[in-house]
Structure 1
Amino acid sequence: MKKFMTVAALLAGMVSVSAQAETLTQKNISLTQANALASAAIQACSAKNYQVSVTVVDRAGVVKAVQRTDNAGPHTVKASEMKAFTALSTKNASGKVMESAQSNAGAQNMRDVPGFLLLAGGLPVKEGDEVIGAIGIGGAPGGQLDEACAQQALDGLKK
């Protein structure tokens, strides 16, 4: 019995040490990046006379930046946040998530996930293959137009 207790104590100690030794290192979008991305998206949409709101979230889904044009509807703020959250959570464009939910009976209940908005306009922000945040835009006359502005902003910051 004493041997069993000693072995159990040693194993517990090894598990404890290995759990303590594991530290995650993750990339995340910075406030500077989030603000620059939101500004670039506002500029892209404003050039087309779209009245929008833009939200950028970090890798945990926490809002980092929000911008709203002067005449954007009040609903666009929450819509942009939800589109960004959807893109972040699924690591995919929110429009593609919407298409999947529409065409796949097994995915139709995704619309019931708290915080999700199954409309185009949200894109993940990546550094390499790692998702470090997401951008969502709401207010253009069509989600595909919101998404085009978001893509233009992402492309502009990569240069």
Structure 2
Amino acid sequence: MKKYLFICGLLGGAAWAGAAQDSADVAGQVLPASGSAAQAFLPLSQATLIVDAVEAAAVSRGLKLVISIVDAHGNLKIFRRMDGSSSGSVQVSIDKALTSARFPVSTRALAARSNDLPANPYASIPGFLLLGGGLPLFDLSKSHIGGIGVSGATPELDEICAQAGVDLLLEPINSTRAES
């Protein structure tokens, strides 16, 4: 019992230290933990721009979607439910975002990978959704900073709209390439 309490105490201390580190984030900057390099960070301002790009892609196609973005730890960063979207799509969009935050691949690719394995193993992991529309988010240095989940249309259309948000993260790269 003492060993259990000791381990729980250690884990609780680590969680508290992580929470303190997260609260040290200021204006999109991440202060490094003692003895470690700065970690990748998804600022709310950037998450908002990503959601705006997804919504614009949805509107241009006449779709009403639910959009969720989580950080690399799986914490909900921003959520938007377009008027007229299905209430059933709320949890689906969150689960797609969480899946791509846990495994930095698209939910469609993860579904294909799982289908190719005996017993479809990823399908049995609680909270995983193996349906197109979830994409990982990377910063310009290719660090995994979160996941986006889109739901409300077909999985293919959800993924196309999610990709519009991912493409927004690549704009500085694209504009740099266009200038050279």
TM-score relative to the length of structure 1:
0.81
Among all aligned residue pairs of Structure 1 and Structure 2, give the percentage whose two residues are the same amino acid. 30
- Do 1:85 and 1:116's aligned partners in 2 also have CA atoms closer than 8 Å? yes
Tell me which residue corresponds to 1:23: 36
Tell me which residue corresponds to 1:16: none
Are 1:36 and 2:45 matched, yes or no?
no
Aligned residue pairs total 138
Tell me which residue corresponds to 2:178: none
Tell me which residue corresponds to 1:62: 75
Are 1:148 and 2:160 matched, yes or no?
yes
SS of 1:105 mapped into structure 2: coil
In the alignment, residue 67 of structure 2 is paired with which amino acid? V
Are 1:122 and 2:125 matched, yes or no?
no
Distance 1:45 1:21, change over 3 A: closer
Are 1:134 and 2:166 matched, yes or no?
no
Tell me which residue corresponds to 1:85: 98
Tell me which residue corresponds to 1:4: none
Q: Could you say what the CA RMSD is over the residues aligned between the two structures, in angstroms?
A: 1.7
Are 1:158 and 2:166 matched, yes or no?
no
In the alignment, residue 139 of structure 1 is paired with which amino acid? G
Tell me which residue corresponds to 2:124: 112
Q: Which has the larger radius of gyration?
A: 1
TM-score relative to the length of structure 2:
0.72
List alignment gaps of at least 5 residues for structure 2. Answer: 1-32, 172-180
Are 1:51 and 2:64 matched, yes or no?
yes
